Amino acid sequence: MAKHDLVGGSLWEQYSSKVTQRVINPSFMGDLTEEDAEKKGGKLIIADWGAEVCGDAVRLYWIVDPDTDIILDARFKTFGCGTAIASSDVMAEMCIGKTVDQVLEITNLDVERELRDEADKPAIPPQKMHCSVMAYDVLKKAASIYKGVDVSRLEEEDIVCQCARVSLKTIKDVIRLNDLKTVEDVIHYTKAGAFCKSCIRPGGHEPRKYYIENILREVRMEMEKEELSQHLEERDFSSMTLIQKHRAVEKVLDEVVRPILILDGGNVEVLDMKEHEGSTEVFLSYLGVCAGCPSGQTFTLKKIEDALQENLDSHIRVNIV
């Protein structure tokens, strides 16, 4: 057990009591043998996984019933910090009694949540989150050995950070769960981007399909849109005064529409609003590159109108002046 994991002032307080107990007295540390598998009437699976970036490694043992694919027993060994021990211990426990396919549905976030004392309080410091990722990866490795396929065939999620093996789903979930607002926060919580840094933004030594910078921006926009929708649901648009409707339209434009237009060098402004035959007509003018864009009267107009209708009222009509 690494001292820096569980000793030292406020750092100690960042670990749940479940983590502490698993580190001090892990229940599933050890190994399983062919003899053990024979006694239980199962097949022995041994999987190794290591994180080169931090030097931690874990070995997972399974005994699997070949007729039902149910994991009858599980053990682990690890060369790693206290968090790696706790994560591997709870991961091994979570395997027992499940089928191999069910185990593939377990994520590193499930491992971390299982270690929490309180549902809304993280079990480990954010900088140790990558240890639960390693426990998640060794599960897939064991499943691939049992199924006789390459582990990449079991990779249902896109991996954003190859160094820390952090998936796109994990990054999105952590941003939402912890209300993260900066790239530095994402790196701190997940370890994604903490090593070679190629996945932070374009321009690194290796091109990537996804970049943390873009993921964060997209998720924040989704969160703001959801928050706006929830807020506006509390007040019926049709019962607002024209001034209140104007403010509501501006808010949707600010939080849903304008961020996208600004990325391309454009913008939009509200010139006027009128009530007409049961509908609210919104008159807009494009700014910047949007003013001369051919899609301004078609695709972009439809997207703006859809955003206002979805977030405010289906009877809104948009006109470009």
What CATH architecture is 3-155?
Alpha-Beta Complex (3.90)
pLDDT class of 281 with cuts at 50, 70, 90: very high
Tens digit of each residue's pLDDT (9 = 90 or more) over 67-119: 999 999 999 998 878 888 999 999 999 999 999 999 988 877 788 889 999 98
Q: Round to the nearest angstrom and report the end-to-end CA distance of the chain.
A: 68
Average pLDDT over residues 123-130: 73
Distance CA 244, CA 64 (A): 63
* CATH number for region 157-234: 1.10.10.1100
Distance CA 88, CA 137 (A): 11
Q: Which fold has domain 237-320?
A: GMP Synthetase; Chain A, domain 3 (3.30.300)
Decide if 54 is catalytic: yes
Would you say the CATH fold of 157-234 matches that of 3-155?
A: no
The answer to whether the CB of 92 falls within 8 A of the CB of 71 is no
Whether the pLDDT of residue 35 is over 60: the answer is: yes
Residue 63, C-beta contacts closer than 8 angstroms, at least 6 positions apart: 32, 36, 37, 40, 42, 43, 44, 45, 71, 72, 73, 74
Choice between 59 and 130, residue whose per-residue pLDDT is larger: 59
Query: Which among 195, 127, 131 is positioned nearest to 162, based on CA atoms?
Result: 195
Burial 216-252 (b: 16+ CB within 10 A, else e): beebbeebebeebeeebeeeebeebeeeebbebbeeb
Q: Which residue bears the tokens 């990449």?
A: 152
- Dihedral sign for Cα 30, 35, 40, 43, please: positive
Distance CA 253, CA 91 (A): 45
Domains of the chain, by residue range, sit at 3-155, 157-234, 237-320
Out of 81, 131, 199, 290, which one is annotated catalytic? Answer: 131
Distance CA 136, CA 47 (A): 12
* pLDDT more than 90, % of the chain: 47
Phi, psi dihedrals of residue 30, rounded to the nearest 5°: 145, -165
Out of 54, 81, 95, 199, which one is annotated catalytic? Answer: 54
pLDDT class of 284 with cuts at 50, 70, 90: very high
Does the predicted TM-score (pTM) go above 0.75? no
